[in-house]
Amino acid sequence: MGLYASILTFFITLFMGIPVGICLGITGVVGVLFMGQPMIVVAQRMFTGLDSFPLMAIPFFILAGEIMNSGQITDRLIRFADLIVGRIRGALAHANIIASMFFGGITGSAAADTSSIGAMLIPAMIKQGYDPAFTAAVTASSSLQGPIIPPSILAVIYGATMGESIGALFAAGIPIGILFGVSDMIVVVSQAKRRNFPKTILNLTWREKLEVIGQALLALIMPVIILGGMFTGVFTPTEAAAVSVGYAFFISLFVIRTITLKEMPKVLYNAALTTASIFLLLATARLFGMVLTNYQVPQLVEKAIIGVAGNSKVAVILIINAILLLVGCFMDPGAAIIMLAPTLVPLAKAVGMHSIQFGMLMITNLTLGLITPPVGLCLFIASDLAGLPMEKVARALVPFLLIHIVVVLAVSFFPDFSLFVPRLLKYA
């Protein structure tokens, strides 16, 4: 009875439009009441859900990204990307994708990527003659590199939840994030000639080109510092996040000089809001996860999957992918990882999948929900920036979504996509 009441509460609150973090909290409270536990269990479980040293990296990475974004770094990255691909047909679309790749290596956020790059490139692409729906679609799709390319907040959450090496997950995210970007570019190339996408001719002197490169490299050095320090063992992921804040502050305030001390309170406020929303999700997801565990939902899910798939490794992996894709359409990826990873990781290991590989499978699957209805955050942001109905942009996203699913399947069935770099760095 308690399980049914909890599930019913979750879906009712979700379809009422209540934020997912609060939905999970209300559902957890209902579950605890039906379990006959004292209400202090709610506070205890939510606190222990956040009592993890690796999770301290999240606010630091968010703050570093907020500082760099407020320092107008987006324009510098776009100019650098345009310099690389300016003479290719569909240059601005390719620049959009490459800029997202760079931006993801700084912020780790798909929503920030869509907002910042979209605000600049969507109007510019439409002005050059690109179809508005395609413009919004490529912006939303390319932003998915943010949660995959390190520093990835989702990788930190998965690592903290499953006790997995965050450095290994960061290493695994590099080739997969690039693969996501390349797949977006394949879609652009396939449509460029048919749609007669324009080229961008930059008449820059060598001095101006070097200036563009230099300005971009100041930002791109930050992920190099983060990853280099972690992979060489100089500092932990949490320490790396703190170092990234110091670098972002120094560069933005004293070198590039694009922000001032007067703007810092606003930057800190925005970072605090983002951190609070993520941590609320993490805390309430832990509470909800406890309720599911108490009612033995993980065991029921495992039995159901094995009952359908039998002894077929391929069938088990395909069913897990389908579950994650469906959950990603309705739930925040971070909360979904906390709730589902403890259930699905043992099942994945049983069919021979490495925990790092499965972590990337979870992250890539769940991030696709950011561009799919009904709650695709990046889809809504891109639609709003382009001034188009969400349905029209969703249709334009179909080719990008399909090729991303192909990438996810490659991650699922070819371990080297996820494990080559971690093995190279002696993580796995």
Span 253-293, pLDDT tens digits: 877 777 778 888 888 898 898 888 888 888 888 888 888 88
End-to-end CA distance of the chain: give it in Å, rounded.
44
Q: Which residues contact 123 (CB under 8 A, 6 or more apart)?
A: none
Q: What angle do CA 319, 368, 351 make, to 5 degrees?
A: 30
Closest CA to 157 of 43, 294, 279, 284: 279
Average pLDDT, the chain: 84
Instruction: Assign 37 to helix, strand or coil.
Output: coil
Cβ atoms of residues 206 and 125 within 8 Å:
no
The answer on pLDDT for 93 being more than 80 is yes
pLDDT digits (tens, 9 = 90+) for 146-201: 889 888 889 999 998 888 888 899 999 999 999 999 999 999 988 887 887 776 66
> Which residue's structure tokens are 């796995």?
428
Burial 128-159 (b: 16+ CB within 10 A, else e): eebebbbbbbbbbbbbbbbbbbbbbbbbbbbb
The answer on pLDDT for 378 being more than 80 is yes
pLDDT digits (tens, 9 = 90+) for 235-244: 888 888 888 8
Q: How far apart are the C-alpha atoms of 91 and 101, rounded to whole Å?
A: 15
- AA identity, residue 250: F
Cα dihedral 293, 299, 302, 308 sign = negative
CA dist list (Å): 325 to 19, 123, 152, 363: 20, 31, 19, 10
Closest CA to 220 of 243, 239, 242, 248: 248
Give long-range contacts, CB 8 A cutoff, 24+ apart: 406-411: 406/183, 407/176, 407/179, 407/180, 407/183, 407/364, 408/321, 408/361, 408/364, 408/365, 408/368, 409/321, 410/179, 411/176, 411/357, 411/360, 411/361, 411/364
306: tokens are 């094995």
How would DSSP label each residue in 57-122?
Answer: HHHHHHHHHHHHHHTTHHHHHHHHHHHHHTTSTTHHHHHHHHHHHHHHHHH--HHHHHHHHHHHHH
Q: How far apart are the C-alpha atoms of 314 and 303, rounded to whole Å?
A: 16
Average the pLDDT over 366-392 and give the result.
Answer: 86
The pTM for the full model equals: 0.86
The answer on pLDDT for 52 being more than 90 is no
The answer on pLDDT for 373 being more than 70 is yes
Identify which of 54-58, 210-214, 417-421 has the greatest average pLDDT: 417-421
pLDDT digits (tens, 9 = 90+) for 323-363: 998 888 888 888 889 888 888 988 888 888 999 999 999 99
Q: Give the number of other CB atoms < 10 A from CB of residue 100.
A: 34
Q: What is the pLDDT of residue 257?
A: 72
